[in-house]
A and B are shown apart, each in its own frame.
Chain A
């Protein structure tokens, strides 16, 4: 079993749709949960991060962490064609020597 599971997609939605991207994980020690957006031919860009459980909202983006279910989500409201990218979840533990683990990434296409 992988430490982090993420459906690679692709996920295709019409403009304006609400997008839900998800990851599951197995290690209950993870404390930081991140979402990165990666456009084609670019490096990953940190979109949002959450420490421990709960929700975090930033404009059209909402990150949710459910530690009891070991499940994290990223919601994109009013999706735009410019949101078309690969979204990678990542998680880490704030203890020396522990690597950040990345999901496989979900490719999202938002059609105009």
Chain B
């Protein structure tokens, strides 16, 4: 399976600032996903990022708040903009390999907003 590296692993940020999270994969993948996981909760899909096209956002998530880049088949970034304490969460990237709808995850970024 693909090896997914996510950076930073954790950060503590001030209200009103922005943080960019990086996701690097060791092989070329078409589909990359960004999730949010709040404490004790399951995964909530933020957006799907395909190389060469605009990210597709889920209901409740907008590009101005969570801009995503996908410059090539091995890399993506998620920015959490104008942060508030409600953005404190774990952010995870995942990829689909091959033709199966099976996702593999990075270790996550633990974000705390003060």
Contacts and interface: CB of A to CB of B under 8 A. Distances in A.
Contacts of B43: 44, 88, 102
A94 B108 contact: no
A45 interface: yes
Nearest to A44: B105
A104 B42 contact: yes
Q: Give the top 9 A-B pairs by smallest Cβ distance, nearest first.
A: A92-B101, A43-B105, A43-B108, A43-B107, A104-B42, A102-B43, A44-B105, A102-B42, A94-B101
Majority secondary structure of chain B interface residues (helix, strand, loop or mixed): loop
Contacts of B104: 46
Contacts of B45: 99
A74 to B, nearest CB: 16
A94 to B, nearest CB: 5
A70 interface: no
Interface string B86-114: 00000010000001111111111010000
Chain A's interface size range is 20 to 34
Contacts, number: 50
A30 B104 CA distance: 18
Contact of B99 (A43, A44, A90, A94): A94
A100 B101 contact: yes
Nearest to B1: A46
Contacts of B53: none
A88 B101 contact: no
A60 interface: no
A34 interface: yes
Interface in A42-82: 42-46, 49, 51
A49 B42 contact: no
Interface in A78-106: 88, 90, 92-94, 98-100, 102-105
Given A44-B92, A102-B42, A103-B42, A34 B102 contact: yes
B114 to A, nearest CB: 19
